[in-house]
Amino acid sequence: MRLNYYPETDSLYIDLSERVSAESWEISEGVVLDYDAEGRLVGIDIDHASEKVELKKLTLNQLPSALEMISA
């Protein structure tokens, strides 16, 4: 999984897999789910991300290794 933030457009894209997106559905204003050809969720696109999610802190729990990142 990869998180990609684009400050010039204030958008966050969460890559959930390496599969190619074939279909997209906007589930709420500015939040789009991308699916592959088999209907599996492959990514999440969030427009105006700084207004919708906490971008300054990322906490990962119960993974093979735990990591907490805090940036200003």
Domain ranges of the chain: 2-70
CA atoms within 13 A on the CB side of 66: 4
Residue 64's pLDDT band (cuts 50, 70, 90): confident
Q: Report how far apart, in Å, the C-alpha atoms of 4 and of each of 13, 15, 25 are.
A: 5, 8, 19
pLDDT at 70: 58
| Integer Cα distance of 50 and 31 in angstroms | 13
Q: How far apart are CA 27 and CA 62, in angstroms?
A: 28
Reported pTM: 0.81
**Mean of pLDDT over the chain:** 89
| For residues 41-70, average pLDDT | 82
Q: Token match 């997209």: residue?
A: 24
User: For residues 38 and 14, what is the distance between their CA atoms, to the nearest angstrom?
Assistant: 19
The DSSP call for residue 69 is E
| The pLDDT of residue 12 is above 50 | yes
